[in-house]
């Protein structure tokens, strides 16, 4: 047997130890480096947009009246470092960001970072529940459609997912709020808790989790019932997205030889689908989950206002409508970094799931 | 000989497979395509029966029809008799219980037919545990035995690895081990060496020959490669356009082909002499 | 010349697509809206900007879709809204396709440093969720429809660049392109005459599906007050008015339905078209799906 002597297991581990790095560690280091570069890119974008793009950044920061006074303007320029060369300004900007200084809101005169930190848990709770809903429903529908390819179920699911991708989220939010709260009173109204309820002691900032940790079951039920409607509205688009991508990923896998081989082994259909098909489709599906998070974060800006959900989305909506530039930039920066972080997590998951990345 | 369980497969019980008048049509909307036009092939136990022919001749479809893995819209008729029952009449449930248990398959490209994200151990034992109701330890023990039998080095270590850590030849040996795990009576081998390096083809062929002789399995070898065919098959059936045009033992078919199509196939070989593996290898 | 035509095989196949009922529905709705946008201001008797004293009137005989908080007719505003959404979204998609397509083709064809530079900028755009980046840019530029379209252009070109780049890289090595180069075509001729016809169809499918996305994005920006400036009739801005007056459901429902119908129509058309081009989803797929 010529091939049995040289291609067993001894050559490859030796190579890996010679380089001195675990393959997974090397892979993760690369991905982390790319993510950090992207974060710098994001700060560059917000820097350019804050300091260069507005027709008059001074006026944008000071407001019209103050900007008319040359003395105030000169003082402001000096104070803000606007009289220094651009690279220096950028370095100063980065320095301020590193200390957590995102500027001061033009509207509330409060530090943007403080306001975003206050709003963050609400959005995190909403987005996490929405992404969970999307994954469960989207992957299930996509799998079902792929297994029933070209039959009635497939066509129906396809049409439904296209509708999900076509509905303007902010309009759907308004419609659902009107129907289920205002008319039918099935779901409670706006906010994260009923007006009479007292927020659970702060641990994570997620009311559902915190109320459970504190053992307040009625508070948990209240928080959950407030959460469901906005989360469903937010999830509809991503359900459509995930359904379509899961369908095509599963179809790709169904055509692979290893599925035919699994069937030839006489395994029950259930085992073939869960163990072979779904696992094969997992990597592309996870990629799409990462991307879907982007749509979700976008969606919060359009949905939260309608439900008076005091999160980053509502903050961004108010900031945008009032043209509060520092606040808008702060949201852009934070959401961009969160999104990069999520996609880095997706890369980590890849490495954990796929042995071809994990072991070499 | 190492590692073959004496109780594994008493040659006398293996009944073989008998295909008679197998017809296959694929219906898609209004169009009907006839793929097989009445195939007769005997696949006796302890022998290797070759099914030769160029792509599109229906040889792979014959194998797929036997194990009930046909595309949507397929309609079959005729007989595929195995252990006294017609495989074509079995319910999907009963067919699934036979697949991988009594009738198993190996495919052309082992890098594609093994799941890249499931360990060798997982893929070697899941159907064993399903069909034979083996426990974890029992299945593991059997897996080590199988890998030893197909001559994969360091079986214990190999079970923990993933397909991308092996060469093509090793993977095909593993695929053969998977196919043999539940002591099948019939093995359908669809181009088992076509995707392999020429240097490792002979090893895999020799392994198939030995397993056939030792375990008394009926092997249906599907290949377009008459070189492989002449090296391995006891009898050869030549297919063209969904029909068997010539059947006979390999010396007859290779040295004095009757049908002009068979002649043309043999003339297309680079050298008329094939690799020829000794029957009484080892 | 005839040899070149024989070697390049354009894959432009819209008619086959139009046999799909979904595509027919989509195309009809799009045509209807284009017709409305073209003729509405000439034939419609009610001025979408005219205010009257009957504020927040529910749908009835005088105002089929009711009136808004300033007493304007919701029906005529909804119809007139097509005049901002449709042309701007189409314009945006065409611009994004030309800009992104050209940059992607250049990146894919020339490779190396040019490729790196263009694609890293594209990555940077992808590092933001779409509406967030569009919102940030539009806010910095100041609220207006023009600025909204500029912001959208900045966020939408990279997807065309990515697709075009991979298509060009795929086509670059194929026989008909090499044959063209051997016959003496320059880089530009090769791109324009040999590669473009072969990669156009997938790019157009992307564009069709993208019109829907563009309408959603534009109306989203208007909803945020960063697009259409009052009193311009615009669907997103009208829904935004409805948020302030949510008990008067008709203010928001009808413009929302308008957005939904157009976006759905473009998605139906694009989806059916893609299906006819993509061999994976076609009937060529063999094997039973368990």
pLDDT of residue C282: 40
**Are residues A256 and B112, on separate chains, in Cβ contact within 8 Å?**
yes
Question: What residues of C are in contact with residue B28 (Cβ under 8 Å)?
Answer: 283
Contacts of C among chains (3+ CB pairs under 8 A): A, B
Average pLDDT over residues B40-65: 90
Examine the pLDDT at C177 and tell me if it is beyond 60.
Answer: yes
Q: What is the pTM of this model?
A: 0.84
The set of residues, in sequence order, having a beta carbon less than 8 Å from that of A190 and lying 6+ positions away, is A177, A181, A306, A307, A308, A309
For residue B232, count other CB atoms closer than 10 A to its CB.
Answer: 29
pLDDT of residue A262: 94
- Sheet containing B218-222: give its strands across: B103-106, B186-190, B218-222, B48-52, B235-240, B243-249
What does the block give as tokens for B52?
């030769």
Average pLDDT over residues C98-120: 91
Percent of chain C with pLDDT over 70: 89
The set of residues, in sequence order, having a beta carbon less than 8 Å from that of C194 and lying 6+ positions away, is C4, C7, C8, C171, C176, C177, C180, C185
* Nearest Cα residue in chain B from A351: B117
The strand pairing partners of B50, in sequence order, are B221, B236
pLDDT of residue A58: 67
pLDDT of residue B275: 47
pLDDT of residue C244: 81
Pairwise CA distance, residues B176 & B213, whole Å: 15
Question: What residues of C are in contact with residue A165 (Cβ under 8 Å)?
Answer: 212, 263, 267
Q: What is the mean pLDDT of chain B?
A: 86
* Nearest Cα residue in chain C from A291: C129
pLDDT of residue C204: 87
pLDDT of residue A56: 63
**Are residues A280 and B161, on separate chains, in Cβ contact within 8 Å?**
no
pLDDT of residue A360: 64
Tell me: the pLDDT tens digits for B76-135?
999 999 998 999 999 989 999 999 999 999 999 999 999 999 999 999 999 999 999 999
Give pLDDT tens digits along chain A (360 positions): 333 433 333 334 444 444 456 888 888 999 999 999 999 999 999 998 887 776 566 666 666 667 677 777 777 777 767 777 888 888 988 998 999 888 888 888 899 999 999 999 999 999 999 999 999 999 999 999 999 888 899 999 999 999 999 999 999 999 998 888 888 888 887 888 888 888 888 888 888 888 888 888 888 988 998 999 999 999 999 999 999 999 999 998 998 999 999 999 999 999 999 999 999 999 889 989 998 988 899 899 889 988 989 999 999 989 988 888 889 999 999 999 999 999 999 999 988 888 888 876
Average pLDDT over residues B245-272: 82
Residue C155 in domain:
yes
Pairwise CA distance, residues C4 & B276, whole Å: 50
Contacts of B among chains (3+ CB pairs under 8 A): A, C
**Are residues B203 and A3, on separate chains, in Cβ contact within 8 Å?**
yes
- Mind giving me the DSSP string for A41-98? HHHHHHHHHHHTSSS-HHHHHH-HHHHT-HHHHHHHHHHHTTTS-HHHHHHHHHHHHH
Min Cα separation B258/chain C (Å): 35
- Mind giving me the DSSP string for C34-87? HHHHHHHHHH--S-TT---S-TTPPS-SSSTT-B-TT--BHHHHHHHHHHHHHH
Query: What are the CA-CA distances from residue B248 to residues A28, B22, B265 (Å)?
Result: 60, 19, 15
- Going by pLDDT thresholds of 50, 70 and 90, the confidence category of residue B272 is very low
pLDDT of residue C285: 33
Pick among C30, C123, C146, C224 to test the A interface (most A CBs inside 10 A): C224
Total domain count, chain C: 1
pLDDT of residue B274: 47
Tell how strand B85-86 and strand B74-82 pair up: antiparallel
pLDDT of residue C278: 63
Q: Is the dihedral of CA B179, B181, B182, B185 positive or negative?
A: positive
Pairwise CA distance, residues C21 & C3, whole Å: 38
Of chain C residues 223-242, which have a CB less than 8 A from chain A?
Answer: 223-226, 236, 239-240, 242
Residue C160 in domain:
yes
Q: Is C283 on the interface with A (CB under 8 A)?
A: yes
Residue C225 in domain:
yes
Residue C264 in domain:
yes
SS3 per residue for chain B? CCCCCCCCCCCCCCCCEEEEEEEEEEEECCEEEEEEEEEEEEECCCCEEEEECCCCCCHHHHHHHHCCCCCCCEEEEEEEEECCEEHHHCCHHHHHHHECCCEEEECCCHHHHCCCCCCHHHHHHHHHHHHCCCCHHHHHHHHHHHHHHCCCCCHHHHHCCCHHHCCHHHHHHHHHHHHHCCCCCEEEEECCCCCCCHHHHHHHHHHHHHHHHHHCCEEEEECCCHHHHHHHCCEEEEEECCEEEEEEEHHHHHHCCCCHHHHHHHHCCCCCCCCCCCCCCC
Task: ipTM value, please give it.
Answer: 0.86
- Going by pLDDT thresholds of 50, 70 and 90, the confidence category of residue B264 is confident
Contact B204, B194 (CB under 8 A): no
**Are residues B99 and A264, on separate chains, in Cβ contact within 8 Å?**
yes
pLDDT of residue A51: 78
Domain carrying residue C254: 65-281
Residue C17 in domain:
no
Examine the pLDDT at C219 and tell me if it is beyond 80.
Answer: yes
Examine the pLDDT at B276 and tell me if it is beyond 60.
Answer: no
- Going by pLDDT thresholds of 50, 70 and 90, the confidence category of residue C1 is very low
What does the block give as tokens for A24?
């997974």
When CB atoms are compared, the residue of A50, A170, A260 closest to C223 is: A170
Task: Determine the Cα angle at C129 with ends C123 and C131, to 5°.
Answer: 125
Tell me: the pLDDT tens digits for B225-246?
888 888 889 999 999 999 999 9
Q: Report CA dihedral (C113, C116, C120, C121) to the nearest 10 degrees.
A: 50
Q: List the CATH number of the domain containing C116.
A: 1.10.3720.10
pLDDT of residue A2: 39
Residue position matching structure tokens 């850590």: B165
Residue position matching structure tokens 């009635």: A152
**Are residues B71 and C289, on separate chains, in Cβ contact within 8 Å?**
no
Examine the pLDDT at C284 and tell me if it is beyond 70.
Answer: no
Tell me: the pLDDT tens digits for B190-207?
999 888 888 888 889 999
The strand pairing partners of B189, in sequence order, are B106, B221
Average pLDDT over residues C227-239: 87
Pairwise CA distance, residues A276 & A147, whole Å: 13
Residue C1 in domain:
no
* Nearest Cα residue in chain B from C287: B71
Residue C37 in domain:
no
Pick among B65, B72, B105 to test the C interface (most C CBs inside 10 A): B72
Pick among B116, B171, B277 to test the A interface (most A CBs inside 10 A): B116
Of chain C residues 118-137, which have a CB less than 8 A from chain A?
Answer: 120, 123-124, 127-133, 135-137
Average pLDDT over residues C173-198: 76
Question: What residues of A are in contact with residue C263 (Cβ under 8 Å)?
Answer: 165-168
Min Cα separation C249/chain A (Å): 7
Examine the pLDDT at C5 and tell me if it is beyond 60.
Answer: no
- Going by pLDDT thresholds of 50, 70 and 90, the confidence category of residue C209 is confident
pLDDT of residue A64: 66
**Are residues B158 and A9, on separate chains, in Cβ contact within 8 Å?**
yes
Examine the pLDDT at C256 and tell me if it is beyond 70.
Answer: yes
Closest CA to C206 of C169, C167, C160: C160
Contact C203, C209 (CB under 8 A): no
- Residues of C in CB contact (< 8 Å) with B are 283, 286-289
pLDDT of residue A236: 94
Among A18-27, B239-248, C258-267, C275-284, name the one with the lowest average pLDDT: C275-284
Q: Is B139 on the interface with A (CB under 8 A)?
A: no
Residue C14 in domain:
no
Tally of residues, chain C: 290
Tell how strand B186-190 and strand B218-222 pair up: parallel
pLDDT of residue C18: 67
Average pLDDT over residues C178-205: 78
pLDDT of residue A59: 67
């Amino acid at each position: 047997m010529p091939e049995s002597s040289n291609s067993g297991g001894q050559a490859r581990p030796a190579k890996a130890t010679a380089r001195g790095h675990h393959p997974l560690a090397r892979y993760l280091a690369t991905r982390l480096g790319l993510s950090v570069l992207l974060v710098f890119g994001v700060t560059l974008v917000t820097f350019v947009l804050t300091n260069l793009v507005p027709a008059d950044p001074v006026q944008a920061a000071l407001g019209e009246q103050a900007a008319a006074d040359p003395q105030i303007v000169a003082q402001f320029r000096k104070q803000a470092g606007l009289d220094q060369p651009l690279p220096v300004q950028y370095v100063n900007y980065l320095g301020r960001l590193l200390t957590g200084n995102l500027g001061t809101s033009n509207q509330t005169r409060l530090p943007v970072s403080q306001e975003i930190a206050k709003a963050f848990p609400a959005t995190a709770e909403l987005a996490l529940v929405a992404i969970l809903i999307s994954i469960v429903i989207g992957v299930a529908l996509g799998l079902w459609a792929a297994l029933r390819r070209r039959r009635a179920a497939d066509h129906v699911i396809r049409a439904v997912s296209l509708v999900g991708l076509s509905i303007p989220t902010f309009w759907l939010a308004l419609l659902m709020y009107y129907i289920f709260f205002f008319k039918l009173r099935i779901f409670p109204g706006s906010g994260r808790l009923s007006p009479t309820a007292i927020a659970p002691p702060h641990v994570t900032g997620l009311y559902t989790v915190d109320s459970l940790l504190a053992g307040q079951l009625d508070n948990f039920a209240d928080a959950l019932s407030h959460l469901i409607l906005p989360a469903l509205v937010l999830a509809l688009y991503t359900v459509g997205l995930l359904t379509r991508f899961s369908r095509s990923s599963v179809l790709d896998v169904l055509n692979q030889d290893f599925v035919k081989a699994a069937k030839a082994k006489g395994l029950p259909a259930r085992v073939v689908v869960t163990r072979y098909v779904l696992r094969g489709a997992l990597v592309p599906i996870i990629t799409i989950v990462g991307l879907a998070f982007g749509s979700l974060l976008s969606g919060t800006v359009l949905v939260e206002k309608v439900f008076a959900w005091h999160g980053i989305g509502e903050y961004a909506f108010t900031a945008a409508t009032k043209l509060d530039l520092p606040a808008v930039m702060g949201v852009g920066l934070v959401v961009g970094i969160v999104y990069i972080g999520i996609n880095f997590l997706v890369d980590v998951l890849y490495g954990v799931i796929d042995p071809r990345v994990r072991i070499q | 000989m190492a590692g073959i369980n004496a109780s594994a497969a008493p040659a006398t019980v293996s009944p073989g497979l008998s295909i008679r008048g197998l017809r296959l049509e694929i219906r898609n909307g209004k169009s009907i395509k006839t793929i097989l036009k009445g195939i007769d092939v005997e696949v006796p136990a302890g022998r290797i029966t070759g099914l030769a022919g160029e792509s599109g001749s229906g040889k792979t479809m014959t194998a797929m029809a036997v194990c009930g893995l046909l595309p949507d819209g397929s309609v079959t008729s005729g007989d595929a008799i195995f252990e006294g029952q017609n495989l074509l009449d079995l319910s999907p449930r009963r067919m699934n219980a036979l697949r991988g248990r009594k009738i198993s398959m190996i495919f052309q490209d082992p890098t594609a037919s093994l799941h890249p994200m499931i360990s060798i151990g997982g893929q070697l034992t899941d159907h064993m545990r399903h069909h034979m109701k083996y426990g974890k330890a029992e299945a593991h023990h059997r897996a080590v035995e199988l890998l030893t039998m197909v001559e994969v080095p360091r079986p214990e270590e190999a079970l923990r690895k993933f397909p991308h850590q092996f060469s093509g030849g090793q993977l095909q040996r593993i695929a053969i081990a998977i196919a043999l795990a539940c002591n099948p009576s019939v093995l359908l081998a669809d181009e088992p060496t076509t995707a392999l390096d020429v240097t490792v083809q002979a090893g895999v062929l020799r392994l198939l020959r030995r397993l056939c002789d030792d375990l008394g399995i009926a092997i249906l070898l599907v290949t377009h490669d008459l070189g492989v065919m002449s090296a391995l098959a006891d009898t050869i059936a030549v297919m063209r356009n969904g029909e068997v045009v010539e059947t006979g033992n390999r010396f007859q078919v290779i040295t004095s082909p009757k049908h002009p199509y068979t002649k043309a196939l043999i003339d297309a070989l680079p050298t008329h002499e094939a690799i020829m593996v000794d029957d009484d290898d080892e | 010349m005839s040899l070149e035509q024989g070697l390049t095989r354009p894959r432009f196949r819209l008619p086959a697509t139009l046999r799909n009922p979904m595509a027919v529905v989509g195309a009809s709705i799009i045509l209807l809206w284009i017709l409305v946008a073209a003729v509405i201001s000439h034939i419609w008797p009610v001025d979408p900007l005219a205010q009257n004293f009957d504020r927040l009137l529910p749908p009835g005989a005088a105002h089929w879709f009711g009136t808004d908080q300033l007493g304007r007719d919701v029906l005529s505003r909804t119809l007139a809204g097509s005049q901002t959404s449709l042309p701007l979204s189409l314009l945006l998609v065409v611009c994004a396709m030309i800009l992104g397509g050209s940059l992607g083709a250049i990146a894919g064809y020339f490779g190396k440093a040019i490729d790196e530079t263009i694609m890293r900028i594209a990555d940077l755009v992808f590092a933001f969720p779409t509406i967030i980046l569009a919102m940030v840019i539009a806010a910095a530029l100041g609220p207006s429809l023009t600025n909204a379209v500029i912001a959208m252009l900045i966020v939408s070109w990279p997807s065309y660049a990515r697709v075009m780049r991979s298509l060009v890289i795929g086509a670059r090595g194929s026989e008909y392109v090499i044959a063209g180069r051997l016959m003496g075509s320059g880089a530009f001729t090769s791109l324009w005459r040999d590669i473009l016809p072969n990669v156009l169809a997938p790019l157009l499918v992307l564009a069709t599906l993208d019109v829907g996305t563009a309408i959603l994005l534009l109306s989203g920006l208007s909803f945020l007050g960063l697009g259409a400036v009052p009193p311009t009739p615009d669907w997103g801005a009208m829904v935004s008015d409805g948020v302030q007056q949510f008990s008067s459901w008709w203010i928001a429902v009808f413009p929302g339905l308008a957005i939904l119908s157009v976006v759905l129509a473009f998605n139906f058309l694009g989806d059916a078209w893609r299906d006819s081009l993509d061999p994976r989803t076609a009937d060529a797929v063999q094997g039973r799906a368990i």
